[in-house]
Copies of this chain bind each other. A is one copy, B any other.
Amino acid sequence: MRTATASSTQAKGRGEYAKSSLTRENIVAAAIPIFGARGLDSAGTREIAEAAGVNQPAINYHFGSKENLYRACAEAIVEKYRQQMGSLSLDAADALSGECSADEARKQLMKLMEGLTEFLVSGEHSQNWVGFIVREMSEQGDAARILHESIWKPGTDLVALLIQASWNKSGDIQLEEARLEALLLVSNLVAFTNGRTVSMQILDWDAIGPAQLDKIKQAMDYRVNDIVRRSSL
């Protein structure tokens, strides 16, 4: 994106910055894990600059302010999320758009949740920016809005629709109930991202490796099946 030749004060996209896109991306990539670990206020521009291999004023030059960089990080994360979860989401959405049996919905739901589990809990390289997403859950700023509208809202909505389809019911009341279930389902995964330290201590785990990931996945499978089973109430 943003095909820029190496050196020239070229024309801007539309009121947007259009400086050296390479160093911009370096800075964003370096900033995301630092912001994710320490938050907007605590993370220093000097720290970020060092990690990116540039000098401190470079951040201000490229982004205008630390907060702008923060927003740029949120946007970059949305992009990465779409790359990583896009195909899974599309599969599920496709299934929903056709008529979709309860069992088909259940299978799609399990596949989607397994993908989400791997994505949020495992995924060594992604681990960095999951911290960013989860941290922003408790904030109310601009970045939080971006992440909510592009990640949390569509993600949980998709899960909710699959749950509803698995119940073989429709209607607004059912949808709200399904949304609540979807939220609780996703929050279970957050326990292993946001609260990873606490979780590991409680479970006497010293790492979340493949063996632990399997246990989490199994627990999530139980959860999904429990939710689906409620259709017969």
* A interface residues with partner B (beta carbon < 8 Å): 38-39, 41-42, 131, 134-135, 137-140, 144, 148, 152-153, 156-157, 176, 179-184, 186-188, 190-191, 194-199, 201-204, 215-216, 219, 222-223, 226, 229-230
Q: Find out whether the CB atom of A180 lies under 8 angstroms from the CB atom of B39.
A: no
By a CB distance below 8 angstroms, the chain B residues around A197 are 137-140, 144
Q: Find out whether the CB atom of B180 lies under 8 angstroms from the CB atom of A203.
A: yes
Q: Find out whether the CB atom of B135 lies under 8 angstroms from the CB atom of A138.
A: yes
Q: Find out whether the CB atom of A152 lies under 8 angstroms from the CB atom of B42.
A: no
- Indicate which residue in B41, B182, B219 contacts A180 across the interface (CB closer than 8 Å): B219
- Indicate which residue in B39, B137, B199, B201 contacts A198 across the interface (CB closer than 8 Å): B137
A202-B183 contact in complex given A194-B138, A197-B140, C-beta closer than 8 Å: yes
Q: Can you report 29 residue pairs joining A to B where beta carbons are below 8 Å apart?
A: A39-B39, A39-B41, A42-B42, A137-B195, A137-B197, A137-B198, A138-B197, A140-B197, A144-B197, A148-B198, A152-B201, A156-B202, A157-B202, A179-B202, A179-B203, A180-B215, A182-B202, A183-B202, A183-B203, A184-B188, A184-B219, A187-B191, A187-B195, A190-B190, A190-B191, A190-B195, A194-B194, A222-B230, A226-B229
Q: Which residue of B lies closest to A147 (CB)?
A: B198
Q: Which residue of B lies closest to A186 (CB)?
A: B191
By a CB distance below 8 angstroms, the chain B residues around A182 are 202
By a CB distance below 8 angstroms, the chain B residues around A194 are 137-138, 190, 194
Task: Say how far A198's CB is from chain B's closest CB, in angstroms.
Answer: 5
Q: Find out whether the CB atom of B41 lies under 8 angstroms from the CB atom of A202.
A: no
Task: Say how far A137's CB is from chain B's closest CB, in angstroms.
Answer: 4
- Indicate which residue in B144, B153, B176, B190 contacts A187 across the interface (CB closer than 8 Å): B190
The 10 closest A-B pairs by CB, nearest first: A187-B191, A226-B226, A41-B42, A137-B195, A184-B188, A137-B198, A156-B202, A138-B194, A152-B198, A180-B219
